[in-house]
Structure 1
Amino acid sequence: MARPRSPIIIIPARMKSVRLPGKPLADICGAPMIVQVWRRAMEAGLGPVCVAAGEPEIAEAVAQAGGVAVLTDPEHPSGSDRIFEALGKADPDRRHDAIVNLQGDLPTIDPAIIRRVMEPLEEGAVDIATLAVEITREAERTDPNVVKAVAAFDPAGGKRIARALYFSRATVPANEGTHYHHVGIYAYRRAALERFVALPPGLLEKREKLEQLRALEAGMRIDVALVDTLPLGVDTPAELERARAVLAQSA
């Protein structure tokens, strides 16, 4: 299968955050957070960018900034379901053969990291691509909120893309060695996204509460690209202040 030639970035966003309600519209250096994420996606230069908005106020904020947004069902259970609905509305003619699912709470992400998620799809057998970063803080190894990607990277040998064998909230693999923090950005071949959203939830997915395990259980191939920096995800007021400080410094 050939490398995708026409990707689209879709950013799912909804107002119902448990820890930081209304966060897509939280002001960061004079712009709503969702607009800052949209800007980083545009700077990546991969292709068009569309926000999959769960509520009209999100779509309005993006439109006011000059971006494109489509309204989606606010009750979608996952971001992948939201981007799939948005894809059908934004690209009914099926011009785009790959979809980058970029989280809507990464306002400071380096656009180069967004570009990197497309690299594993150069291998024709790969259905879905994602990212990981080496864990350097000891507490993260045992933190169940830090999802670990199990893949046989060999950075010293130049192997910075590897097949995902598993994802877990547990500390895996066992024994001494490097562990990798999964970065939840995905690139799907269009056919892979269509297949994925049609699958029933998997047993391991429900046990670990990790959606990507559904794909592995179904025999889909996920490859992971290793990056050097963990993007700042904004889920709390403290993280929002950090994002404001980072973007203020770079302005």
Structure 2
Amino acid sequence: MNSHDFAKTLVLIPARMASTRLPGKPLADICGLPMIVQVAKRAQEANVGRIVVAVDDQAVFDVVKKAGFDVVMTRVDHQSGSDRIYEALCLIDPDKHADIIINVQGDLPTIEPDSIRASLRPLDNPSTDIATLTVEITHEEEKTNPNVVKVVGSPIADERLRALYFTRATAPHGNGPLYHHIGLYAYRRKALETFVSLSPSTLEKRESLEQLRALEAGMRIDVEIISSVPLGVDTPADLDKARQILAARA
């Protein structure tokens, strides 16, 4: 943001221990550090505000604390990362000092700090409730892959879209770029409060995409276009790739 206020911004990183494909995922070693600590370090390098990790397991709490980052214990039964970060927000900032909350997923150890900073840019527009990120799809197989979520948006600047829809289908039809959604969000505090108060929506349940709840409720989501998709670690193969990426950077 052009007028970004470090003191008014919180970076919240949700970390959930239960993972069917990669048990104990937050503690997985990547270049000598637990994955959740690597994510916190990427957020630290972005230098946009206070960082707090929201965990549901004592072992994760302990390693984050030992690494020198703020950490808060949250319930184990949250259905989504947004619910977890909202509980964390209420616990650590009950007096509502923070105006902007950035939700960085706890399985993005290789995310570029510039990408975290980019998520703030759409909030320069006071009409924007939620900001997120996208990358133009360049591999043909991704265009039809339902695991690659697409942003359908109207261009509002050279590197920005206003989101009209999110889908697992190949959309929009016709000539032109398709965009791969990256699930990192920057919320205005009021928008996050509104979002978690809403019940799951019809299209959200149909597509299994939580962000559709916000659009169906009339909230505005703007999307910054960046150059590369961060690696989300969901499998042992992803973990190996993350190790290779960070080892190469080092």
TM range (shorter): over 0.9
Residue 207 of structure 2 aligns with which residue?
Answer: 208
Residue 62 of structure 2 aligns with which residue?
Answer: 60
For residues 26 and 228 of structure 1, the distance between their equivalents in structure 2, rounded to whole angstroms, comes to 27
SS of alignment partner, residue 17 of structure 2: coil
1:120 aligns with 2:122: yes
For residues 249 and 29 of structure 1, the distance between their equivalents in structure 2, rounded to whole angstroms, comes to 10
SS of alignment partner, residue 19 of structure 2: coil
Letter in 1 for 2:91: K
Letter in 1 for 2:149: V
1:12 aligns with 2:11: no
Residue 136 of structure 1 aligns with which residue?
Answer: 138
For residues 29 and 155 of structure 2, the distance between their equivalents in structure 1, rounded to whole angstroms, comes to 38
1:164-191 CA distances to partner (integer Å, 9 max, x unpaired)?
0000000010122210000000000000
For residues 61 and 14 of structure 1, the distance between their equivalents in structure 2, rounded to whole angstroms, comes to 14
Coordinate RMSD, CA, aligned: 1.3
Residue 220 of structure 2 aligns with which residue?
Answer: 221
1:27-46 CA distances to partner (integer Å, 9 max, x unpaired)?
00110000000000011000
Letter in 1 for 2:242: A
8 A contact 1:4–1:121 mirrored in 2: no
For residues 205 and 84 of structure 1, the distance between their equivalents in structure 2, rounded to whole angstroms, comes to 19
For residues 68 and 81 of structure 1, the distance between their equivalents in structure 2, rounded to whole angstroms, comes to 19
1:16-72 CA distances to partner (integer Å, 9 max, x unpaired)?
112111110000011000000000001100000000102111111100100111000
Displacement of 1:4 in angstroms is 6.3
For residues 44 and 230 of structure 2, the distance between their equivalents in structure 1, rounded to whole angstroms, comes to 17
1:91-142 CA distances to partner (integer Å, 9 max, x unpaired)?
1221110100000001011100000000000000000000000001101001
> Gaps spanning 5+ residues in structure 2: where?
none
SS of alignment partner, residue 95 of structure 2: coil
TM-score (ref. length: structure 1): 0.96
Residue 151 of structure 1 aligns with which residue?
Answer: 153
For residues 66 and 4 of structure 1, the distance between their equivalents in structure 2, rounded to whole angstroms, comes to 25
1:230-249 CA distances to partner (integer Å, 9 max, x unpaired)?
00111111110011111111
For residues 249 and 3 of structure 1, the distance between their equivalents in structure 2, rounded to whole angstroms, comes to 34
1:136-159 CA distances to partner (integer Å, 9 max, x unpaired)?
1101001000000011238xxx62
> Gaps spanning 5+ residues in structure 1: where?
none
For residues 66 and 3 of structure 1, the distance between their equivalents in structure 2, rounded to whole angstroms, comes to 28
SS of alignment partner, residue 105 of structure 2: coil
1:38 aligns with 2:58: no
8 A contact 1:72–1:82 mirrored in 2: yes
Displacement of 1:3 in angstroms is 6.5
For residues 227 and 250 of structure 1, the distance between their equivalents in structure 2, rounded to whole angstroms, comes to 20
Letter in 1 for 2:117: R
Query: Percent same amino acid at aligned positions?
Result: 57
